[in-house]
Structure 1
């Protein structure tokens, strides 16, 4: 065995993961979905379920969260781990998108509709869509105003009003 081939073999061993670790990493997605589903069930219940004839605001979120939780539980038991894609660098983009959505929700509750929508559209167009900063900003502003006009002005959807929403008449 030459020195270069032994170094390559050692590097290959370091890069490879154990079979148990690979299975656990592939099972991470249904476990995360199960945890999210259980948390959503709790949040929906706290919103109030009401009754079928007079549903509360948490009834539909509770039903959806129940379906998510049940699906995740079935995936954990029935679906073989080998069917899942391995975690790659592309996975970080998905996680970043989910973190962006969570940030949007927090900002939406505190700043209203327009500012978080502008930030979200601009970030997604720039980082996920590969647009230039100029194009992402132009489309982000146009998109946020268009969505405000559609949902708030035309359809009358009651969103939390932030400082910019009040200027736009929302």
Structure 2
């Protein structure tokens, strides 16, 4: 066990015939006691300071650990957000491709339908022209036929009869 200032103060030396001067030894011991007390006080202060610094160190280590965990969580969250954004982008692209395919398919169907309708109209127009041509040719043949001349004579007779009847 280390000496305390009280141990030094209470220390008594045996006396001898030609020993040291008692006052000198007492003065020296008094100086040693003061220095020793100062060293003990300084040592206690340093121990207290070390304890405070250890507490602060522990506090900063806790903060460092929390920050490390926060950074890891932030990195994981950022990675998750990035992956989700990629997945969402892929879904949007797939949806857009489906919509584009659907729109193209519908446009092709409408185009085919319109082409068929145009062909149908052209066919009807050709039939109409052929029938109209036949009708006109039949009418021309009728106009050029002898029957028309006979009809014209009959119509003139009817007109004369109507005039005579009304007069």
What band does the TM-score fall into relative to the shorter chain?
Answer: under 0.3
The structure having more radius of gyration, on CA atoms, is: 2
Choose between structure 1 and 2 for higher RCO, CA contacts under 8 A separated by at least 6 residues.
1
Structure having the higher helix fraction is 2
